[in-house]
Structure 1
């Protein structure tokens, strides 16, 4: 099996490239940490005797380390290599995640989630960085689209898997995280290090990276990442499971299929990104994706049943399947190979900030300012939908001009 095939100009997927499979595996593990256990969140309340806002910490503790750790991981990966950074992160993710299955206090759960979050901090970042290192042109776009599609398919399955495993016991889904240990061992043995050229001294590296971060295009992309993931993790992956449990009486096994609608649509759209990217510019596609986000959230607010909620979430998945490949393509083409992991690190840092702020904001506001949390979640979902729709529409009109 060829590991580093010639980039060429073909838009086909390089199936014989060993690197491709480690990229896919790392990406799938990188998005496993929340979607797998999102259906389990309501069950954690009686197990540990905690409130909605405390349950939100299960996600926040996982995403918080990435805000600070990911830029550092990007620096390390640009200087010591992609593989030497990726393998320890996979091992930490798997060990800490599986260890949660054996805790008996909520404090221990949060501590291990924090460690697992450190392991997850740069997995997707490094996967996309390696794509930029190894592939070029149409083939790179095809691999990015395929990677996004696979992530979407995995994210569609994770809520189903997590919900099904949680019917055995709340702790069983956490054992599933142990698969990252196997991938880490295989990567240490089989993954070839991409050639990224000679590293510059740290001061020169940081000054170059700092200059690129303040390009208008970079600032706009990073703002889009923060907003997208604040809404996704706050409204969809935190507030919505609690709303489905409290308003419609759904259990973890029923919540999973509803949430999976986002990933089903995302995977379908991402698989066609190579063609979609020829229709509009990356920045215009991001704006259109935000319109889809907003309309989906308004649809969730209007939905009279769980089935209708699932249908509305398909639009959110369409937006996600457009937004993320467009953002990743923009980021990895802004800079040369020796800065690529650093730029992707900053991208993921803003992503993690959004993931961290979203769950805290939605649960806190719903509990603090509304008579019931159900009323709060519904109002916040609708308000977010209106704001995101208007923002996406205005951005698209400006970009068209």
Structure 2
């Protein structure tokens, strides 16, 4: 199905915004060691600067999902871009740990709005093969952002440790473009019916649980996204700490490895809809798990700057298969009138994974070293692959 010119313009704005949801954490990856030194904090605390916004997204996303269901995705999308720019850019003028964490709270609120609105915009503006392609582009944009923004962050970080925070301001002009290009997707979206807001909380909880009972596959989909993001941020947070072991220490050089991870994900996501014509979603996700096992396993043994590129490429290829599969499954299983709510849970689970990643893996570093973290991640991916295979066999 072809996409009209106006819908194509909207798609490119959506794609550009999708790169920002990744930039929220990825642009700071190359400067983790410098943040640690400049603020005088531990590696785990420096990692929290990257992932703290994720904790806010976990809490804010369900609220944003309900808002999107009431008023449509356009206005939360546009407003979220402005909040994102202000919250992220504030780090440019902050030089102490606690205020910087607070600015990441504001960033998290903006990211939650943008992330959820993007998903519902795609569901409502496109359909059929066009939607599958748009989801692939969205995931490809995420991966492209994971490739480009670390390079920008690494280059900016070579000038000043806090200069990468200034890049967040790019969301403000994008918000102005969105005002002109993103259409309302629902008649009467400005008013909404208010049913979700006026319903008693226990009734809403019961209704939500009823959906999970009717669609038991939803929870494994969310857990898949949680795990994928936890493993992704094991790369973002701990690979820069590992690379000095193979002679890579500058922020710009580190950014090349994170960029390779994102580029690989962009390649697999860009061809996702074509791969889907050859294999089912479960098969593609199974392939991703195997790529992750191989990638993390390789990270435990690589010894040169060149071979250290292999693990991040393998992991990135898997990400480009898992992310669009997750969004497509949610669109398939969630009630049509509650897409905002259930797509918001994707963000909540994903950013929970990002937020908890340094807390889960960080304590392992003193015990088994950074390479040991990757060994544990390889085992986790292997267990997930076996669980998927067993579930597929039963279904």
1:229 aligns to 2:229 (yes or no): yes
Q: Distance in 2 between matches of 1:59 and 1:243?
A: 17
Contact 1:31–1:151 (CA under 8 A) maintained in structure 2: yes
- Structure 1 residues 343 and 177: CA distance shift in structure 2, 3 A: same
Q: State how 1:5-154 maps to structure 2 within 5 Å.
A: 10=1, 12=2, 14=4, 16-17=6-7, 18-154=9-145
Give the superposition deviation at 1:207: 4.7
Q: Distance in 2 between matches of 1:74 and 1:153?
A: 25
Contact 1:205–1:339 (CA under 8 A) maintained in structure 2: no
Runs of 4+ in 1 over 6 A off after TM superposition: none
Give the superposition deviation at 1:200: 6.5
Aligned to 2:279, what secondary structure does the other structure show? Answer: coil
Q: State how 1:247-286 maps to structure 2 within 5 Å.
A: 248-286=247-285
Give the superposition deviation at 1:245: 3.6
Contact 1:40–1:252 (CA under 8 A) maintained in structure 2: yes
Give the superposition deviation at 1:212: 1.9
Contact 2:21–2:142 (CA under 8 A) maintained in structure 1: no
Q: Distance in 1 between matches of 2:91 and 2:76?
A: 24
Cα displacement string for residues 36-92 of structure 1 (whole angstroms, at most 9, x for unaligned residues): 111011111221111112112202322110111101100011002211212221111
Contact 2:284–2:321 (CA under 8 A) maintained in structure 1: yes
- Structure 1 residues 193 and 43: CA distance shift in structure 2, 3 A: same
Give the superposition deviation at 1:188: 2.9
| TM-score in terms of structure 1 length | 0.90
Q: Distance in 2 between matches of 1:210 and 1:82?
A: 24
| TM-score in terms of structure 2 length | 0.91
Q: Distance in 2 between matches of 1:44 and 1:194?
A: 42
1:344 aligned residue: 343
- CA RMSD, aligned part only? 2.0
1:388 aligned residue: 381
Q: 332-341 vs 91-100, which deviates more?
A: 332-341
Give the superposition deviation at 1:210: 3.3
Q: Distance in 1 between matches of 2:5 and 2:158?
A: 37
Q: Distance in 2 between matches of 1:13 and 1:51?
A: 49
Aligned residues: 384
Q: Distance in 1 between matches of 2:318 and 2:52?
A: 27
Cα displacement string for residues 349-379 of structure 1 (whole angstroms, at most 9, x for unaligned residues): 1111111111122223324xx2xxxx42211
- Structure 1 residues 200 and 281: CA distance shift in structure 2, 3 A: farther
Q: Distance in 1 between matches of 2:261 and 2:379?
A: 19
Q: Distance in 1 between matches of 2:35 and 2:222?
A: 33
Q: Distance in 2 between matches of 1:320 and 1:21?
A: 21
Give the superposition deviation at 1:249: 4.8
Q: State how 1:164-183 maps to structure 2 within 5 Å.
A: 164-183=155-174
1:326 aligns to 2:325 (yes or no): yes
- Structure 1 residues 13 and 192: CA distance shift in structure 2, 3 A: closer
Give the superposition deviation at 1:16: 4.4
- Structure 1 residues 196 and 145: CA distance shift in structure 2, 3 A: farther
> Any unmatched runs of 5+ in structure 2?
none
Aligned to 2:239, what secondary structure does the other structure show? Answer: helix
Contact 1:292–1:389 (CA under 8 A) maintained in structure 2: no
